[in-house]
Every structure is written in C-alpha cells, then in structure tokens.
Amino acid sequence: MDPVTLARGLVCCPSVTPREAGALALIEGVLKRAGFQVHRVTFAEPGTVPVENLYARIGTGRPNLVFAGHTDVVAPGDEARWTHGPFDGDIEGGVLFGRGAVDMKGAIACALAATFDYLAAHHGKPKGSISFLITGDEEGVAVNGTVKLLKWAADRGEKFDHCLLGEPSNPKSLSDMIKIGRRGSLNGTLVVTGTAGHVAYPQLADNPVRGIVTLLSALMNAPLDDGSQHFDPSNLEFTSIDVGNKTVNVIPGEARARFNIRFNDRHMQDDLKALIEQRTGAAAGPVRWRIEWEPSNADVFVTKPGSFVDLVRAAVAEVTGKSPALSTSGGTSDARFIKDYCPVVEFGLVNTTMHKVDERVPTADLVALTAIYRNILERYFA
Ligand SMILES: [Zn+2]
C-alpha cells in the first residue's frame, strides 16, 4: 500500500485533539484487511474528555515489535494563513500539505505501508508479532491515551519487546537523528512572603520583591549539573515573575515566580526538588519562602545504546547513506510512558514545520521513511 495515499487519507480526517474524526477508523480498516486483530478502546476520567485509542496485533509469538504513535493533531490556527487547507490533503510540487503531515500521521502511514509490504513478502505473517499502539490523546493532556492504553494491553497479557515511536525526530533531513531518550520536566512556583505596607514607610513593611530577586539570581546562577553521557546539562528556566500589584504606593505582601526544569539522568524528581530547596534555603537568609511543586508524569529516561538502537541506526544508514546521531534533546513525548514496558526509540519525519501553519512533508520523505521502517522490520525478524 502506498504511504502517500495513506498519509493523505489521515490528513483529511480533522482529528484535532481529542477528536477521532475518522482517523482511527481508517487505520482499523487497513489493519483488519491485512489480518490484524484490532481493538478500539475509549478511556475516560472525571474532569477529562473521553478519548479513543487503538491497539492492533498480528501474530502471537515473540518478539513483539510495536509501532507507537498518535492520530490527534494540534489545532490549525488561522486557516486563512494556510496556502492549502489544513485538512484537504493537497499535494503540490511533490509536497503533502496538512496538519499532522509530519506530527505524526505521515509516520503512521509509513509504518503501515512498511508493515503491509513486509507481510506481503513473508506469507502474511511475521516471525514474531507486529503491533500498533495508536492514541488520540498525545497533543492534549495525555491522560486518556498511551498511559492507559499500555496498562490496558498489559492487563490483557500483551508483552512488548521493543517499540518504535514515529514522532518527528529529525531537525533538518531524514537521516539526522534518532531519539534514544528524553529529559524529564518539572514545574514549580517560588513564593516569597513579605509584609504589605506604605512605600513611604518601608521600615514598617517587608518587601517580597527584594527577597525574590535574591532567590531568583541564586537559582539562575549555579548550573544544576554539567550534563551526562547522553544528555545536555539540566536547566532551570524562570517563565514568569508575578506580584500582581496595581498600586504604586503599596509594598506588596507576596511575590511569585514560576519555573520549569528540564532535567537529565543525573536526577530523579525527588532529589532534584531537594537540591533546589537546599539552594534556595542557603541563599534566603531572613527571606520567607516556599516552593509549590506541580505533580509531573515526565520523568527522564534513556534507552541505552545496544542491539535495538544499533539496528534502527543501521537501517537509517542503509536507506539514506548517512548514520544518524543519537539524541535526547527536545520536549517530552509518549516514550516517557512506553519506557516502563519495553525499550523505545523515536524515529520519524523532519520536524521543521510541526505545529506550524503550512505543516508539510515531501512525498519523497514518506517513501524513504517507509523504506527505513521496512528495513527495520526485515532486520528485526531476521
Ligand atoms: Zn507528535
């Protein structure tokens, strides 16, 4: 089956998160025709929208190689700014335009096309099993998606050996980068309490702005670490400083600063929190402070280079003629959930237009990524 036709079909489903919009139905149809057992499962939770997901498998043996991905997309924004309708699936000059073309309906289409081609060449059966784990809740809150789908599959007795997640991993061209891990992410708010008062009588007040400036500079000055074998240094970034004071002659009673930390594998959430609080305390003197931490489901992970990473890298090199770098850069992805079940690496399309107006992919990239996935399947079940 042609990956371009499949990608086009998926792009034409306006599956803005968390809507299904026919995208999973399309995948269900083609997988069933290829002999897969397909399950459509909807997850819900109070306070969230129910979201549809799909799990499909062919074969019963091991190893079980899983292609993971999401069919939901981010909103197109102002559609008038697009040169082609975001859900029209137009191809012009060898380029497919549309929301989700690279993030990541294109890669799902390539994984499907590669799988069908592999099955056709092997009497319709893999030596082990091939599975698809597709969610409609990646771009949203990611509560009713991959995290629950993995649990659901595990409860049914499904075992995964390796996972290939088709997120757009390449900065410029298709042979650039395999992601073998992701940094963790942690949000917090630094709160400094003072005593409100009249600006003309500062001795009767305690200005929290002075205190928070001291603590901000202490936390921004010292690096958290100097990186590790596979990761850049961890980074704490303040994103907002808020006093909310509309009055010019009043010293405020409280100042707050929000921050995010992207951390590498030299930290776990708890020791990182302890480190930040220890540094804050050391700089605080008489300043009254506390940190409000937000719950985070984004832990750091790395799939250590080994046979599976080597296999993916060799497949990319054979098809493109270039050996991709191994990286842990970028934001979080559903790989952070999958890593609890099996080793996972991410390799997909080029990410320059993702989430932007005129998101697009050269059809040649779809053909090449299909060849790479096909090569991976051949090596994996050799
Ligand atoms: Zn994505």
Task: State yes or no: pLDDT of 117 exceeds 90.
Answer: yes
CA of residue 245 to ligand 1 center, whole Å? 39
Which residue in the list 20, 72, 139, 334 is annotated as catalytic? 72
Determine the residue type at 99.
Answer: R
Beta-carbon contacts of residue 352 (< 8 Å; ≥ 6 apart):
171, 172
Take residue 32 and report the two structure tokens written for it: 């069933």
d(CA 151, CA 164): 18
Q: Binning pLDDT at 50, 70 and 90, where does residue 209 land?
A: very high
C-beta of residue 145 within 8 angstroms of C-beta of residue 137: yes
Helix (H) or strand (E) holding 131: strand 129-135
Confidence of residue 239 (pLDDT cuts 50, 70, 90): very high
Going from the C-alpha of 254 to that of each of 140, 250, 291, 364, the distances in angstroms are 33, 12, 13, 57
**Least confidently predicted of 186-190, 302-306, 363-367, 377-381:** 302-306
Q: What distance in angstroms lies between residue 369's CA and the mean position of ligand 1's atoms? A: 16
Q: What token pair was written down for 255?
A: 């100042």
Catalytic residue among 20, 52, 138, 254: 138
Please tell me the distance between residue 92's alpha carbon and the centre of ligand 1 in angstroms: 24
Q: At residue 120, does pLDDT exceed 90?
A: yes
Query: What would the pLDDT profile of 295-339 be if each residue is shown by its tens digit?
Result: 998 899 999 889 999 999 999 999 999 999 999 999 889 999 999
Is position 72 annotated as part of the catalytic site?
yes
Model pTM? 0.90
Residue 104 CA to ligand 1 centre (angstroms): 5
Mean residue pLDDT of the chain comes to: 96
CA-to-CA distance for 252 and 108, rounded, in angstroms?
53
- CA 334 – ligand 1 centroid, Å: 9
Res 196 pLDDT > 90: yes
Q: Is 88 labeled as catalytic in the residue annotation?
A: no
Give the residue from 93, 7, 40, 115 showing the smallest Cα distance to 377: 115
Model confidence pLDDT, tens digit, residues 35-67: 999 999 999 999 999 999 999 999 999 999 999
